[in-house]
Amino acid sequence: MRPFASCRSVALWCALLAAASPRSLPRPPAAEDGYDLWLRYRLVGDAGRLAEYRAALTQLVVEGDSPTLRAARDELSAGLTGLLGSAIPAVDSVLHDGALIAGTPATSRLVAGLPLADDLRRAGDEGFVLRALRVRGQQAIVIAGNSGVGVLYGVFHLLRLIQTGAPLRGLAVVSAPKLRLRLLDHWDNLDRTVERGYAGRSLWDWPHLPDSIDPRYRDYARVNASIGINGTVLTNVNANATVLSPEYLAKVAALANVFRPYGLRVYLTARFSAPIELGGLATADPLDPAVGAWWRRKVDEIYRAVPDFGGFVVKANSEGQPGPQDYGRTHADGANTLADALAPHGGIVMWRAFVYSNEVPTDRVRQAYDEFTPQDGAFRENVLLQVKNGPLDFQPREPFHPLFGAMSRTPLMMELQITKEYLGQDTHLTFLAPLWEEVLRADTYARGPGSTVGREIRGLAGVANVGSDRDWCGSDFNQANWYAFGRLAWDYTLSSAVIADEWIRMTFSNDPRVVGPVKAMMLASREAVVNYMTPLGLAHQMALGHHYGPGPWVARGRADQTSVYFNRADVAGLGFDRTATGSNAVHQYFPPVRRRFADRDSVPETLLLWFHHVGWSERLRSGRTLWEELLSRYQAGVDTVRWMERTWDGLHDLVDDARFRRVQAFLRTQEAEARWWRDASVSYWQSFSHLPLPPGYPAPAHALDWYRELRCPTDPRKPRCDALMNVGRP
């Protein structure tokens, strides 16, 4: 199999690199707990680079005194002191060679006098300019923006360049975000539980707000600003109306005050039935004048507390949540009522398109498209339809959602899941940038070739993986997904390899003996998870409820939430026919995509069983039968995790001991659970195919009934399956 062959090539390269590396270097002395994330600001280790940076940065000039420019000055001071080993003096008068100048044309006479007009025009409201040039006869580096937050983003970019060992000579960067909305969605409840959260309790200490401000709130804002995230939704999409009460709005305002200097606006989820639950009305019918008046009063109250409030996210008529259809109204009717209340203040509504019903007798993945395309053009201008990356539900692999490109008169944004609900949660190393890159670069053909998903959206929302754990995300490598989300939200054309390289250098080391092997692990990790969980386009094969571990046999509960609904396994074969002979979900894509997915000869084999029901003995383009290819993919997933274990073990002397051992323990768990996925899945499919395992393929460690009866994890908040840890290791 080609993808696995390339993985083995990378593994061999990393093994040779590790074997050639000296093993006598002292281990880094400082144990790290992960709190600093990628803003570690450790002394530059390369002596030549350090000398270059010290010569290029001898003075600090930040003109302007807004809270945001003060934050920029503080970040530069702290960052450069750590990276260069000594503080840089701040000056406001005589310049010497090596001045670092930061400001906007409105706050800085120095910036205003420089020939940067064209660059600043390209930078826009939030972007920045980094230039090495002469200022008043002296060599300087300039960080300029049209706003304070643009300068702040430029500060973090300069620090990133130093952290990653980039040269500063000839520096000429103009950077502007490609998407206007770059938001984290916290599925946090007011009791501090987190739905699909695997990193502790919610950060928001509601009982002690607004009087007690945890210093961690500022660090949260700093970290988001460092990757250009400009909004945070504080509350769960399964909303609680209480957050809109006066008591809680005071708490929200306290958080907004901390976040504001870092360009981070606050948003809230709105429960559609709030006029009943908070306002005492008899109805939440969006066309009832009293309901519209209640929302206008409530929104006015919110803006008095939080003048830069961003707006609402709404989950309505989905999975039991109230909505306009309860009153015979459309989604547009509901969204527009809230949008009209927000419009005078500049606020927006992000209306989630994740709707489906087991009472609708069509393929679940068709339902959002069927629901919303007839309403295209019916939404107000300040409504964005928030669409998941795929038509199902954050699976290890799905095709891109057919709504992208299909709503030409309605702005869309994409929702991703940073927390890995279906990809190993906090336990498995799964770098998600390749998944997101795959979707963002997919061509919808909405306006001909080149109409990529990235070009069809106005914003990106990520379901946050952040919690109260000291390391923020539940494991060291989960932090990389928060970082990758921010970088892709700023520039969706960045590659996964570039993002991984940055993160490794900022988080671990610039040593190529670390960067190369760790990058190879990260870039192989997502495909490994797909292979041992849901190869060849299978989807939603997880255990019921907590979605941890395999459950291809799950048949109880709502049909459209069961595994058997999606795998369609029978004695003839496997997979969901979504062509014209089946549910015809392919028809929702534009013709070039439709033809590609519908044809067995052109559909990507990575999506084969998503669109086609295939016989067990049918030959695929690889030359293998479906049964043989499935076995190959499952084994490739396990083998890749074993290679990741060996690769990490080879870094023992190059990574601090605390983080080394944490990652090592997680990889041991991942390897055991990859075998669990392989063995449980193969046993179940074999009960239909009745085909033998080929020579050399490992037999499952247990009978199928053992896997069916296994109950894992014991603690869904910190998942792992202890019953597997000593079973079947080679």
Domain chopping of the chain, boundaries: 47-175, 181-506, 532-576+613-724
pTM value is: 0.95
Tell me, what's the pLDDT at 724?
A: 85
The per-residue pLDDT for range 394-449, each reduced to its tens digit, is 999 999 999 999 999 999 999 999 999 999 999 999 999 999 999 999 999 999 99
- Over residues 177-196, the mean pLDDT reads 98
Nearest CA to 364 out of 622, 93, 559 is that of: 559
- The reply to whether domains 47-175 and 181-506 share a CATH topology is no
Domain 47-175: which CATH number of 3.30.420.40, 3.30.379.10, 3.40.190.10, 3.90.800.10: 3.30.379.10
Tell me, what's the pLDDT at 22?
A: 33
The per-residue pLDDT for range 33-53, each reduced to its tens digit, is 999 999 999 999 999 999 999
DSSP tag of 475: S
Q: Do the bridges between strand 138-144 and strand 614-615 make them parallel or antiparallel, or are there none, so unpaired?
A: unpaired
Rounded Cα–Cα distance for residues 599 and 649 (Å) = 44
Would you give the end-to-end CA distance of the chain in angstroms?
Answer: 22
CB atoms within 10 A of CB 172: 10
Sheet holding 99-103, edge to edge: 59-62, 99-103, 138-144, 128-135, 172-175
Q: What is the mean pLDDT of the chain?
A: 94
* Whether the predicted pLDDT of 12 surpasses 70: no
* Whether the predicted pLDDT of 10 surpasses 70: no
Q: In this structure, are residues 666 and 475 in contact, taking their beta carbons and an 8 Å threshold?
A: yes
Which residue of the set 63, 393, 426, 577 is catalytic?
393
The percentage of the chain sitting over the pLDDT mark of 70, rounded to a whole number, equals 95
Q: Which two tokens stand for residue 584?
A: 């015809």
DSSP tag of 636: H
Could you tell me the pLDDT band of residue 600, with boundaries at 50, 70 and 90? Answer: very high
Rounded Cα–Cα distance for residues 433 and 412 (Å) = 21
* Whether the predicted pLDDT of 71 surpasses 70: yes
Q: In this structure, are residues 62 and 73 in contact, taking their beta carbons and an 8 Å threshold?
A: yes
Q: Do the bridges between strand 573-574 and strand 614-615 make them parallel or antiparallel, or are there none, so unpaired?
A: antiparallel
Nearest CA to 477 out of 218, 199, 158, 726 is that of: 199
* Whether the predicted pLDDT of 15 surpasses 50: no
Rounded Cα–Cα distance for residues 561 and 436 (Å) = 24
* Whether the predicted pLDDT of 726 surpasses 70: no
Annotation says 421 is catalytic: yes
What CATH number does the domain located at 532-576+613-724 have? 3.90.1330.10
Tell me, what's the pLDDT at 356?
A: 95
* Whether the predicted pLDDT of 20 surpasses 90: no
Which run of H or E residues covers position 649? Answer: helix 626-649
* Whether the predicted pLDDT of 123 surpasses 70: yes
Q: What angle do CA 378, 381, 385 make, to 5 degrees?
A: 70
Could you tell me the pLDDT band of residue 728, with boundaries at 50, 70 and 90? Answer: low
| 613 half-sphere exposure, CB direction, 13 A CA radius | 18
Q: In this structure, are residues 141 and 168 in contact, taking their beta carbons and an 8 Å threshold?
A: yes
Annotation says 319 is catalytic: yes
DSSP assignment string, 564-603: HHHH---SSEES---STTTT-GGGGS-HHHHHHHH-TTTS
Which residue of the set 285, 371, 398, 421 is catalytic?
421
Which residue of the set 97, 319, 649, 722 is catalytic?
319
Third-level CATH fold of 181-506 = TIM Barrel (3.20.20)
- Over residues 16-28, the mean pLDDT reads 36
* Whether the predicted pLDDT of 146 surpasses 70: yes
The per-residue pLDDT for range 256-307, each reduced to its tens digit, is 999 999 999 999 999 999 999 999 999 999 999 999 999 999 999 999 999 9
Q: In this structure, are residues 404 and 445 in contact, taking their beta carbons and an 8 Å threshold?
A: no
- Over residues 165-174, the mean pLDDT reads 96
Distance of CA 446 to CAs 38, 419, 436, 488, 594, Å?
Answer: 38, 30, 20, 22, 12
Sign (positive/negative) of CA torsion 277, 281, 283, 288? negative
* Whether the predicted pLDDT of 16 surpasses 70: no
* Whether the predicted pLDDT of 137 surpasses 50: yes
Residue type, 710: L
CB atoms within 10 A of CB 65: 9
Peptide bond into 713 cis (omega under 30): yes
Stretch among 19-28, 344-353, 651-660 having the lowest mean pLDDT: 19-28
Phi-psi region of 514 (alpha: psi -120 to 50; beta: other; left: phi over 0): alpha
Q: In this structure, are residues 319 and 557 in contact, taking their beta carbons and an 8 Å threshold?
A: no
Stretch among 10-24, 65-79, 596-610, 710-724 having the lowest mean pLDDT: 10-24
